[in-house]
Structure 1
Amino acid sequence: MASRTWVPPGPYDLGRTLCVLARGPGDPAYRVTGDGAIWRASRTPQGPGTLRITAVDGEVHAEAWGPGADWLLETLPSLLGAADDPAAFTPRHRLVHETHRRNPGLRLARTGLVLESLVPSILEQKVTSDEAYRAWRLLLQRHGEPAPGPAPRMHVMPDPRAWSLIPSWEWHRAGVDDKRAATIVRAARVASRLEEAAGMDDARASARLQAVPGIGPWTTAETLQRTNGSADAVTVGDLHLPRIVGYALTGTRGTTDETMLELLSPYEGQRHRACRLILLSGVAPPRRAPRFAPRDFTRI
């Protein structure tokens, strides 16, 4: 086991910063234990590794296990948002200002691991969150490997070759249709090229990811928000986000992507952070329609 301590330069909220990396409450690669520790299981360039992170008395302590331990500790500050600059953000709406004031410790995490965020984002394309979370959980449990160290029943995601070798019936068993499965396989086959996007600016990284058929603006934004800590990668094409942003900022319903982008234009360069704060405010239009029923792909 290796360890490292990082001291944030100001107020810091570990849970708020890293919670976007969890893919549902049963994510095999992300756990929050009763003592408040956050555990992450990742496949790093040096191999699988497990990270345990705690925040105590203004310091963040991390322990790591496995072949990827050194890489995880070396990149720990970036993961925790050290490269993020919250001071670059200026609230332009009362609700955003108040939420920003109440969350001074929010930072934008940067994992530096593209496939780790890209695959679950592909799984979330055009399905309910519950369907996507279930698929991610089953695929990691069946095709990943146990996380190194004393991790509580955690799994590291498959390597690119293992993703490309998952048979069709296993995708169907996890509830993943052929289109999403094929997109993941295509991405896995060029994984080394996609991982380079973690060191690019948003425009170049977006172009690199969208060169893979099946990966569009929605999936790209969801990935770059996590891998690159992008403050401006706003998610377009989402079923809920435009309506939430529109309702929170204007009180109106039925906001489109185009109107959402107009509303967010005062935050150019910081639009994703503005959306994070709007979502944290809890203000959203009342639900009028029932939830979509999960589909059973095992019967197709």
Structure 2
Amino acid sequence: MHEDVERCVRAVRSKDARFDGWFFTGVVTTGIYCRPSCPVVPPKPENMRFYPSAAAAQQAGFRACKRCRPDTSPGSPEWNHRADVVARAMRLIADGVVDREGVPGLASRLGYSTRQIERQLRAELGAGPLALARAQRAQTARLLIETTALPMGDVAFAAGFASIRAFNDTVREVFALTPTQLRDRVARGHPAATSGSLSLRLPFREPLCPDNLFGHLAATAVPGVEEWRDGAFRRALRLPNGHGIAALSPRPDHVACTLTLTDLRDLTIAISRCRWMLDLDADPVAVDDLLRADPALAPLVGKAPGRRVPKTADAEEFAVRAVLGQQVSTAAARTHAARLVTAHGDPVDDPAGGLTHLFPTPEALAGLDPDALAMPRTRRTTLTTLIGALASGAVDLGVGADWDRARAGLAALPGVGPWTIETIAMRALGDPDAFLPTDLGVKVAARALDLPATPAALTRRAAAWRPWRAYAVQYLWATGDHAINHLPAA
């Protein structure tokens, strides 16, 4: 996108927020970079320079605009709908892998050399993995500086900096202000958060239909791990340095997010996982424009545009829950999952609500007694085999997983058929083209819309919906009167 200068100039002149996160504009006369929707008077085209990432703009010597705060714009949807190595790398960087394991760890997870990863990221994003991770650390530091009363030294290490000096230098370079000046600019009278609690706004590209998104998460919530309370979806998060509790509430122009963390070093990862779970970096305009081209889907898109795919904060957890949900009702699946949580989950303290546990890891479930499961023998075998494959690493569903390889690994397991594989691909792996032609809700909707009802015929018809078939599933499901389609009562 950033190489199409004429299109970028038009987006900047029209202050089009749909392109926030797609590219960044450096202004040579001021030395700052902005998001396309920046409210200031657009510069002359000859003074604009366009970059594919905030990190690339920073490496070119530009500082973040104090008005539009480009470092806080929605992430590029490129990393959601692509499955190549650059997209996988970006998802891993957002999940903090470079900060925890360095560039060699990133390369190892992707199966490439560090030189190959450096070259591919620089070619497409104008910055290497260290610069991209540094830009993310700067954004986290800004959030902590402006919303907490933490000492600057604690902020530095919580944001992932190796030293106070690196923290000070980065903040000054990126924001043209010292950390103290950044904090002083925050409006007086706004109480700072406690050391473990943060309230923030998660931006998204409009439109966003919250009904099926929050409705699905609330209707399928596992007791003890997830709940709907006081107008917010709340869930316990397993994080690298401890655990956290996220409370997420839909608002007209953002999602209100309150994070309670046992270790603030997990802030960036917690935010990333919340955004992923709510599919906030999607491009709803691109999705809806393609789907409304089909006369059968056009009325559904027109009625409630901006549907997102409800994802998961833990892919391995979701795979286990998908097997538990095979051929049973939503209520029965929740009951099965809740029993596993009570017996094998790690306890958490939640003074603000009813969350009691983290969902058990595959390692914690590895010693599960199949006879203790109230389900058919064949499904017990499927579940225990899946748990073993996840615990051993034979099946990788992580943030940077190869979608085709993950599908193949799941297909090799007994009792894991196309419905389970595509459900996991859609909600755990995040493949926007995952499709469920055998799903009962999809088939019922297809018949009501005079679409082909047989899986093979519907799959052929759905070829026109690619690469957004997972979003088409959301619109098809929305034709039913199931609880997953309705925003819960506050």
Tell whether the structures are fold-level matches, with TM greater than 0.5. yes
Q: Larger relative CO (CA 8 A, sep 6+): 1 or 2?
A: 1
- Separation (CA, whole Å) in 2 of partners of 1:208 and 1:46: 29
What does 1:73-84 align with in structure 2 at a 5 Å threshold? 73-84=271-282
Match of 1:218 in 2: 419
The one-character-per-residue Cα deviations of 1:117-174 (angstroms, maximum 9, x if unpaired) are 1011101223343332321122223332334433532232112222122223421xxx
- Separation (CA, whole Å) in 2 of partners of 1:95 and 1:207: 32
Deviation at 1:107, TM superposition (A): 1.9
Deviation at 1:234, TM superposition (A): 0.9
* Aligned partners of 1:30 and 1:40 also within 8 Å: yes
* Aligned partners of 2:201 and 2:257 also within 8 Å: yes
- Separation (CA, whole Å) in 2 of partners of 1:170 and 1:102: 46
The one-character-per-residue Cα deviations of 1:251-295 (angstroms, maximum 9, x if unpaired) are 78xx221122123222122222112102213389xxxxxxxxxxx
More moved, 269-278 vs 110-119: 110-119
Q: Report whether the alignment pairs 1:167 with 2:369.
A: yes
Q: CA RMSD in A?
A: 2.9
Match of 2:332 in 1: 131
Deviation at 1:211, TM superposition (A): 3.5
* Aligned partners of 1:234 and 1:272 also within 8 Å: yes
Deviation at 1:40, TM superposition (A): 1.4
The one-character-per-residue Cα deviations of 1:13-71 (angstroms, maximum 9, x if unpaired) are 345324434563664322111x3111012334545432111233522222223458533
* Aligned partners of 1:198 and 1:205 also within 8 Å: no
Match of 1:191 in 2: 390
**What amino acid does structure 2 have at the position aligned with 1:258?**
A
- Separation (CA, whole Å) in 1 of partners of 2:218 and 2:396: 20
Pick from 213, 216, 220 the counterpart of residue 24 of structure 1: 220
Percent identity (aligned):
23
Match of 2:430 in 1: 229
Match of 1:208 in 2: 409
SS at match of 1:38: strand
Match of 2:250 in 1: 55
* Aligned partners of 2:432 and 2:468 also within 8 Å: yes
Deviation at 1:75, TM superposition (A): 2.9
Q: 1:109 and 1:283, CA in 2 relative to 1: closer, same or farther beyond 3 A?
A: closer
Deviation at 1:110, TM superposition (A): 4.0
- Separation (CA, whole Å) in 2 of partners of 1:45 and 1:218: 31
Q: 1:198 and 1:159, CA in 2 relative to 1: closer, same or farther beyond 3 A?
A: same
**How many residues are matched?**
277
Pick from 193, 205, 208 the counterpart of residue 12 of structure 1: 208
Q: 1:223 and 1:151, CA in 2 relative to 1: closer, same or farther beyond 3 A?
A: farther
Match of 1:85 in 2: 283
Q: Which has the larger radius of gyration?
A: 2
- Separation (CA, whole Å) in 1 of partners of 2:327 and 2:207: 37
SS at match of 1:75: helix
SS at match of 1:190: helix
- Separation (CA, whole Å) in 2 of partners of 1:23 and 1:56: 20
The one-character-per-residue Cα deviations of 1:225-255 (angstroms, maximum 9, x if unpaired) are 11233221112443x1453143133178xx2
- Structure 2: unaligned runs, 5 residues or longer: 1-195, 483-490
Q: Report whether the alignment pairs 1:115 with 2:311.
A: no
Q: 1:18 and 1:57, CA in 2 relative to 1: closer, same or farther beyond 3 A?
A: closer
- Separation (CA, whole Å) in 2 of partners of 1:250 and 1:64: 45
What does 1:252-267 align with in structure 2 at a 5 Å threshold? 255-267=453-465
The one-character-per-residue Cα deviations of 1:193-250 (angstroms, maximum 9, x if unpaired) are 3344542454233123323333222111111211233221112443x14531431331
* Aligned partners of 1:119 and 1:184 also within 8 Å: yes
Pick from 148, 157, 160 the counterpart of residue 359 of structure 2: 157
Match of 1:246 in 2: 446
Q: Report whether the alignment pairs 1:269 with 2:464.
A: no
Q: 1:184 and 1:244, CA in 2 relative to 1: closer, same or farther beyond 3 A?
A: same
TM-score under structure 1 length normalisation: 0.79
Deviation at 1:178, TM superposition (A): 2.9
Q: Report whether the alignment pairs 1:38 with 2:253.
A: no
Deviation at 1:185, TM superposition (A): 2.4
* Aligned partners of 1:118 and 1:223 also within 8 Å: yes
* Aligned partners of 1:49 and 1:148 also within 8 Å: no
